[in-house]
Amino acid sequence: MSERLSGRVALVTGASRGLGRAIAELYAAQGAAVAVLDLKEHWAQTVVDGIVARGGRGIAVGCDVSDREAVQAAVSRTVNELGGLDVVVSSAMWNRYEPIADIAPETLARMSGVGFDGIVWIIQAAAPHMSAKGASIINIASVSALKGMKNALLYCGIKAGVGGLTRAAAVELGAQGIRVNAIAPATVATEGVKSMLDAEALAERAARIPLGRLGEVEDIANTALWLASEESAFVNGQMITVDGGLANGIL
């Protein structure tokens, strides 16, 4: 089977673990050169070392996506070292679940800075460098953008905002041949999620999903691969739920 991203250059944020790492590794396995972005470059380097050991190509870039200048520098480095930019995935997120009464200004600033502002800065910096042929921007949203959830006011609001900016960017950038879409997962059993939710809470979430299980990182990575490929060439401005049917019910 031919590599679906052969000759392409991808940039993935939040790529040292979880969804971002799974997407970066799958893209590399499918022939893309990948810029692995994360807050600390040595975290990203571990992922790149694995990619290179498997015969792939990539670079590690330390970047706080809430910092506009840092994002611009990261995109420039990607273009200069890897030779272009075709696919961008914004997976970085900083999250805290807590009651409305406990939300502090610094929590709001950090969550929105990474989860919303960071996507704006990535799109702004990347779009001028993206080729018209097959260019794809993919934002990781959440099924929580569609349904409310206790102790998740900021998370639900930010992810709903990701859906809105995805649609707006799709309309504005479509004329340049750049597609912009979002993926809205249900709970995915990443290490980060497991660190925030105990076994009982995870089991409760799985029980609410019609397919009877939590998502796996591969479920999201495979969707991101499809959105990056020519197979989705006429898909633009969509928020695709990958949730086992959860959004059809009540969270």
CB 53 within 8 A of CB 77: no
The span from the CA of 52 to the CA of 67, in Å, is 28
More confident residue, 248 or 58: 58
Domains of the chain with CATH codes:
9-240 (3.40.50.720)
Question: Is the pTM higher than 0.85?
Answer: yes
pLDDT at 162 over 80: yes
DSSP state of 33: E
Percentage of residues in the chain with pLDDT exceeding 70?
98
Contact 59, 80 (CB under 8 A): no
At 36 the three-state DSSP class reads strand
| Percent above pLDDT 90 for the chain | 86
pLDDT tens for each residue of 68-126: 999 999 999 999 999 999 999 999 999 999 999 999 999 999 999 999 999 999 999 99
Least confident of 141-145, 231-235, 240-244, 247-251: 247-251
Catalytic residue check, 155: yes
Backbone angles phi, psi at 86, to 5 degrees: -115, -35
Ranges 50-54, 164-168, 184-188: which has the least confidence? 184-188
pLDDT of residue 77: 98
Nearest Cα residue to 163 out of 190, 136, 184, 177: 184
Tell me the average pLDDT across 218-230. Answer: 98
pLDDT digits (tens, 9 = 90+) for 185-206: 998 988 888 877 888 988 998 9
What's the rounded mean pLDDT across residues 21-49?
Answer: 98
Does the pLDDT value for residue 2 go beyond 70?
A: no
Burial class (CB in 10 A: 0-12, 13-18, 19+), 131: middle
* 23 membership: H or E segment, kind and range: helix 18-29
Catalytic residue among 116, 121, 155, 226: 155
Phi, psi of 88 (to 5 degrees): -130, 130
Question: How far is it, in rounded angstroms, from Cα 80 to Cα 76?
Answer: 6
70 Cβ contact partners less than 8 Å away, ≥ 6 residues apart: 63, 64
Confidence of residue 1 (pLDDT cuts 50, 70, 90): very low
Question: What is the band of 222 on the pLDDT scale with cuts at 50, 70, 90?
Answer: very high
